[in-house]
Structure 1
Amino acid sequence: MAASQAGVFWLEFDPDSGHNLLRKMGNESPQWASPPTFGIRSQVNGYGGGALCAGHDTVYAVEASQQQIHRIDPVTGATNAVTQDTGASFGGLVWDSLHHRTLAVRERSGCQQLVAVRDYNEIVPLHDSEDFYSAPALSASGERMAWVCWSLPDMPWVRSVLWTADVNEDGMLVRARCWPTSQEGSVQQPVFDGETLYVLSDHEGWWQTWCVSWPDEQAKWTCLDSTAADHASAPWQLGERHFCPLGQGGWAWARYVNGVGELWLKRSAGSSPARVAPDFNDFRHMTASDGQLYCIARSATRLDSVLAVDLATKRVRLLAGGEAPFADTPIVAPAPFKMPPSNGGQEEMGGFWYPPVGGSSENNPPPLILIAHGGPTSTAWPVFNPQVQFWCHHGFAVADVNYRGSAGFGRRFRMALAGNWGQSDVEDMERAADHLVATGRADASRLFVQGRSSGGYTALMAMIRSTRFRAGASLFGVSDPARLREVTHRFESGYLDWLLGAPSDYP
């Protein structure tokens, strides 16, 4: 999502062209704002993010095939290349209104840097001493900047650090400093409210909101919400935004409770927080403009939606998406399940169970497919999934499992998979199967396991190591970790060692 005087914009996948295209909110309905042949997607870190930002009267976006920044006229849809940096990829775009330029992360020849981009291929490096960079954030005056860095072999959800700098009259960074947390942690999504800086950090166990200041050159971290819940998901992409300042001390933020996302609003410093849009359970890419909060939202019963929330009345409007997936077919809704720790462990785990269409009985429990999500530092969200619906409509129950290592359940749970991939996750798939059998929701003789990407590795290891499962499916799954370590992209080049230990220990 992006908003400016030029309008409210988002990216939408078009199945006819196979591209992510630019959409703009018109007077009454959304309108296409880019040509159908102009795909938009960043490939920085392999997963991209931040491929779009809105200036005063134009939009800047990363064209998918060449990875260059283009200027898009939001009225005519005309596009013009801003960069011609062959071999480079750009992402994490941010508009700098003070200096009339686009800020971005540039990835080139195995290196990253923060850069400033003006029209006519003028690219100015701003900072380049670290391995990886997040999308930058600017203060209201444009005179302060913040960003997050992390270094190999870490992933950004393992260990990362906050940086700040002043921006001089020439647009260059001065007095750049890093501000470590008091304990090891992952910092993400810096944002300014006026000149005051806020971030999400999990150094005390959860991704919570912190105000960061540095009087007398000493960092002061003040927690604004100590609720024991993650307020963001794992930062796989640049430019994520799970919280947003609203002015006058007001905030919007997401909170994840037992795998379910909640959207909360606090209109001003003196008002009470209120939950809004309870029909949705995942919220991303928040931005505020002209008394409205905009975001991408997902639910279990409809397709992805673009929402506008009136900050004064808290009324929620559906701007785009949100269609019913099927015309005449009922949607199978998820039911959360949760299990206490086993074998003296400390970690609870659970997921979401989907019953088969047609039901089952105590004497005739259904066959069950247990799904291991990808990542593995990702999450099984209770959102519409056509594959899950397919199996439920063919007589199977489905369990989407948040095994140890999943994001959204605190730092300790997320870090529990370190060195134990293919073991702890397999044990948790077994525990989920046993629990659902014991509670009458699955037939012990008809248990199946499925996974995609890293979840495919979990499925393969479950079929090798476990006797619970009658069959399984690995969909584009990891089958040779040592080979993957040799060919994976730089972003994940240290990830397998974190998951599995030294290469000599790879199974």
Structure 2
Amino acid sequence: MSRYTLPFGSWPSPFSSDAVVAAATGLGQVVTDLNSIYWLENRPQEQGRSVIMCADSDGAITVVTPASFNVRSRVHEYGGGAFTVKDGHVYFVNDADQRIYTQRPDGVPTALTPEQPGARYCDMVIDRRRNTLICVQEDHRDDQREAINRLVSIALGQTHEPCIESGSGSVSVLMEGADFYASPALGHDGQALAWLEWDHPDMPWDATRLMLATRSHAGELGSVSHLCGGDNESIFQPRWSPDNELYFVSDRSGWWNLHRWRDGVINPVLEMDAEFGQPQWVFSRSTYAFLDSTHVATAYCQRGLWQLGILDTVSAQLTAIDTPYTEINDLQVLDNQIVFHGGAPDRAAGIVNIVPGQSPTLLNQKQPDQIDASWYAVAKPIAFPTTAGDQAHALYYAPTNPDCQADNAERPPLIVRVHGGPTAGASSALDLRTQFWTSRGFAVCDVNYRGSTGYGRAYRQRLNGQWGVYDVADCECAARYLIDSGAVDPERTIIRGSSAGGYSVLSALTFGDTFKAGASLYGISNLETLAQDTHKFESRYLDRLVGPFPADRETYYQRSPIHFVDKMSAATIFFQGLEDKVVPPEQAEKMVDALKQRGAPVAYLTFAHEQHGFRQADSIKRALEAELYFYATLFGFAPADELEPIAIDNL
């Protein structure tokens, strides 16, 4: 069949904004219990509500969470670790009141923790011997001081069944004093508890301490030991083996590798230039689990792409499992089954169940219906030279549409995407938000700038002291690399990003001239404001990325786009949730007002009930269509879609 010749940006596409929203169901935390597999599912069509799903041994899938509940923790604002399951009983944090609820099989949830506005919980583990729940608590009840983080124990009742009287779970403090706690791991005999802790100004990927305490018959902590971690060592996911040995991931070698504590000695289980850990932006992340006492199912990342394998802890041999998945999260095991949240460039994310030697089973995959694979743009990893003699990395997606082509003389517009964090990485999994653009004739480049994860500690630390410099330079160098290769149009270069990525966007548009347009989604324009007005978890994050505040106030000033708006002339569109506590709306509004006065083309869309990241279907749809309308108006092409106009000042 012949292809239509149409300008880039004007190609008709089956990836509508509605299709993007339909596929935007977020999949998260995986838990296995008895013969069942549980996971968390976020539903934009239900105002961003998150529910617990369950697949039983027969493959039947049910929704566990009643309609009036929303499973989400607000600890560190980003949450995670919002539920666990033990012997068929579900324990979860409800978003509205942040209380822990318990739910019997096929039963109605009952509040476990007392009604204490300001008390938040996450990262739960059940101690059946003492009939208690151990978890992280973040206490915001005194608004005159910084929130207090603790490890706590919550009584479940007098029997081995969870209590059913609402709010009757008394809360006892196990450990406090550190600024942060995470990953409580209970030994199989119940006599030892391991956990992670760290203090300001460190983030968990900078330095965490692995702690170990003995426990009394009543569950109180006895002697406490600092096993490892601290200065320039990040520990991730302590977990006890079936024979009760303590394993964990450490980056002491420069890579997050698996280690073991045995008889008071710490040794690597396997040394490898690969990442077996992840940045702990949310709780309860898992990259490995035990199949038996000597075999570990594990996910590991090399050059930004994840793989699956089985590690023999005796021989230190890692056997790769051939799968199509290049994005693997929340790995757990159930008997001989390996379960994880996985995705790949040619398939959407889903809950995957693999028995080694057999084909994977998809428990819940969100894939658009009746769209041929020829429509999908597949990520191509690229490396390119950047400043200071370094090399940076990216994933490149070429315009892809089996029905359309452009004139041979035309080059496509380029969207350079900047991931958030900034300590994070671009995902290689199929994302219909990417396909939305590539199928319409845009090229997309996801940049894993210096500071990104997946390339070892040294690469991750390259951004220290250089945020707003190296990330911007890498995005500019990625664009120039593609321009020089003849792949894209230098006059239609766009940069877009959210949160920390939005800061890179505004910095690139303010201090550089590579990009002709930009989109900032709840991005940062004033580093000083961010340093002084953000939540506890990130309140000292910038000490490493920029410098100690207020000692380095001048650096903060010089790298804040809001102070140099007179240098900015590129068209910019802003998207902002009005309930955002991570990046308050005032930052976007000050930037927008300044750009209006400057005479630069600018658009500003707000979303009344959104926070840091858009969860609701209407918000996702509106933002995507508005962004397309903005680019079409700016670059003068006619989109095939019917789009609701937006107000653009100074254009």
Q: Distance in 2 between matches of 1:282 and 1:251?
A: 18
Q: Distance in 2 between matches of 1:94 and 1:440?
A: 54
How far apart are 1:369 and its partner, in Å? 1.0
Q: Structure 1 regions of 5+ residues with no counterpart?
A: none
Query: 1:296–1:304: 8 Å Cα contact kept in structure 2?
Result: yes
Query: 1:106–1:112: 8 Å Cα contact kept in structure 2?
Result: yes
Residue 201 of structure 1 aligns with which residue? 250
Distance 1:287 1:98, change over 3 A: farther
CA displacement 1:336-384 (0-9 Å, x = unmatched)? 1112465434xx2111111112467985432211111111111011122
Q: Distance in 2 between matches of 1:112 and 1:207?
A: 26
How far apart are 1:325 and its partner, in Å? 6.3
Query: 1:6–1:56: 8 Å Cα contact kept in structure 2?
Result: no
Query: 2:386–2:473: 8 Å Cα contact kept in structure 1?
Result: no
Q: Distance in 2 between matches of 1:498 and 1:272?
A: 37
Match of 1:400 among 430, 443, 446: 446
Q: Distance in 2 between matches of 1:15 and 1:128?
A: 37
Residue 110 of structure 2 aligns with which residue? 80
Relative to the length of structure 1, the TM-score reads 0.93
SS of equivalent residue, structure 1 residue 413: helix
Residue 112 of structure 1 aligns with which residue? 149
SS of equivalent residue, structure 2 residue 122: strand
Relative to the length of structure 2, the TM-score reads 0.73
Query: 2:209–2:230: 8 Å Cα contact kept in structure 1?
Result: no
Q: Which moved more, 1:363-372 or 1:237-246?
A: 363-372
Q: Distance in 2 between matches of 1:175 and 1:301?
A: 51
Spell out the pairing of 1:234-313 with structure 2 (5 A cutoff): 234-266=279-311, 269=314, 273-276=318-321, 278-311=323-356, 313=357
SS of equivalent residue, structure 1 residue 44: coil
Q: Distance in 2 between matches of 1:341 and 1:227?
A: 26
Distance 1:386 1:494, change over 3 A: same
Q: Distance in 1 between matches of 2:407 and 2:456?
A: 36
Pairing 1:470–2:519 present: no
Q: Distance in 2 between matches of 1:483 and 1:272?
A: 49
Pairing 1:134–2:182 present: yes
Residue 457 of structure 1 aligns with which residue? 503
How far apart are 1:494 and its partner, in Å? 0.3
Q: Distance in 1 between matches of 2:360 and 2:186?
A: 28
Distance 1:326 1:481, change over 3 A: farther
Q: Distance in 1 between matches of 2:308 and 2:407?
A: 36
Query: 2:310–2:321: 8 Å Cα contact kept in structure 1?
Result: yes
How far apart are 1:36 and its partner, in Å? 1.8
Q: Distance in 2 between matches of 1:497 and 1:161?
A: 19
Distance 1:366 1:64, change over 3 A: same
Pairing 1:24–2:67 present: no
How far apart are 1:161 and its partner, in Å? 0.9
SS of equivalent residue, structure 1 residue 456: helix
Query: 2:472–2:507: 8 Å Cα contact kept in structure 1?
Result: yes
Distance 1:452 1:188, change over 3 A: same
Query: 1:146–1:190: 8 Å Cα contact kept in structure 2?
Result: yes
Query: 2:207–2:231: 8 Å Cα contact kept in structure 1?
Result: no
Higher relative contact order (CA 8 A, sep 6+): 2
Residue 41 of structure 2 aligns with which residue? 12
Residue 82 of structure 2 aligns with which residue? 51
Residue 615 of structure 2 aligns with which residue? none
Distance 1:15 1:469, change over 3 A: closer
Q: Distance in 1 between matches of 2:500 and 2:74?
A: 20
CA displacement 1:421-478 (0-9 Å, x = unmatched)? 1111111111111211222322223222111111111011111121211121212110
Of Structure 1 and Structure 2, which has the larger fraction of its residues in helix?
2
SS of equivalent residue, structure 1 residue 226: coil
Q: Distance in 2 between matches of 1:298 and 1:11?
A: 16
Match of 1:351 among 383, 394, 397: 394
Distance 1:175 1:341, change over 3 A: same
SS of equivalent residue, structure 1 residue 174: strand
May I ask how many residue pairs the two structures share in their alignment? 499
Letter in 2 for 1:14: R
Pairing 1:490–2:536 present: yes
How far apart are 1:271 and its partner, in Å? 9.4
Residue 69 of structure 2 aligns with which residue? 38
Q: Distance in 2 between matches of 1:393 and 1:404?
A: 29
Distance 1:70 1:182, change over 3 A: closer
SS of equivalent residue, structure 1 residue 234: coil
Q: Distance in 1 between matches of 2:348 and 2:369?
A: 6
Query: 1:282–1:299: 8 Å Cα contact kept in structure 2?
Result: yes
Match of 1:174 among 222, 232, 238: 222
Letter in 2 for 1:152: H
Distance 1:23 1:441, change over 3 A: same
Q: Distance in 1 between matches of 2:554 and 2:387?
A: 30
How far apart are 1:226 and its partner, in Å? 1.1
Distance 1:316 1:6, change over 3 A: closer
Distance 1:259 1:325, change over 3 A: farther
Match of 2:206 among 139, 158, 165: 158
Query: Which has the higher Rg, Structure 1 or Structure 2?
Result: 2
Residue 274 of structure 2 aligns with which residue? 229
CA RMSD of aligned residues (A): 2.1
Q: Distance in 1 between matches of 2:269 and 2:358?
A: 22
How far apart are 1:333 and its partner, in Å? 1.1
Distance 1:425 1:210, change over 3 A: same
How far apart are 1:7 and its partner, in Å? 2.8
Q: Structure 2 regions of 5+ residues with no counterpart?
A: 1-29, 141-146, 157-167, 559-651
Letter in 1 for 2:362: L
Distance 1:503 1:434, change over 3 A: same
Spell out the pairing of 1:277-426 with structure 2 (5 A cutoff): 278-311=323-356, 313-324=357-368, 327=371, 330-340=375-385, 342-345=387-390, 348-358=391-401, 364-426=410-472
Q: Which moved more, 1:367-376 or 1:493-502?
A: 493-502
- Percent identity over paired residues: 30
Query: 1:459–1:473: 8 Å Cα contact kept in structure 2?
Result: yes
Query: 2:32–2:333: 8 Å Cα contact kept in structure 1?
Result: yes
Distance 1:195 1:365, change over 3 A: same
CA displacement 1:459-503 (0-9 Å, x = unmatched)? 111111212111212121101221222221000000123222223
Q: Distance in 1 between matches of 2:95 and 2:128?
A: 25
Distance 1:362 1:94, change over 3 A: farther
Q: Distance in 2 between matches of 1:59 and 1:436?
A: 50
Q: Distance in 2 between matches of 1:435 and 1:190?
A: 41
